[in-house]
Amino acid sequence: QSALTQPPSASGSPGQSVTISCTGTSSDVGRYNYVSWYQQYPGKAPKLMIFEVSERPSGVPDRFLGSKSGNMASLTVSGLQAEDEADYYCGSYAGNNVFVFGGGTKLTVL
């Protein structure tokens, strides 16, 4: 049950695109297409942004794009807006009904 690896920080200017990586292993990210991404503002509960690698829940802007290659998943936020500044966490199913999160990435909009 090792945590997934995310960069601690990422940044971009308004209108630009930024990609956040999430590195796991062949036992979690690499094996299952159950990668999800969460946005969290300070003092608030996380919000589901992406599920099953690249699916967006209703209401999530299509500026948020999820993908996966091998043991690494990615979240790309295009057309950055000030409101995108938040912490982002990836999560993955790891088999045997176990779930694992990444350490989180603080996204700063410059």
Burial of 92 (0-12, 13-18, 19+ CB in 10 A): buried
Compare residues 79 and 99 and give the one whose CB is closer to another protein: 99
Tell me: does residue 38 bind another protein (CB under 8 A). yes
For position 25 contacting another protein by CB under 8 A, the verdict is no
Q: Is 93 in the site for another protein (CB under 8 A)?
A: yes
Strand ranges inside the chain, DSSP E: 9-12, 18-23, 35-40, 47-50, 64-69, 72-77, 86-93, 99-101, 105-109
Q: Is 46 a residue that touches another protein (CB under 8 A)? A: yes
Which residues in this chain contact another protein in the complex, by CB under 8 A? 1, 3, 32, 34, 36, 38, 40, 45-48, 51-52, 55, 57, 89, 91, 93, 96-104
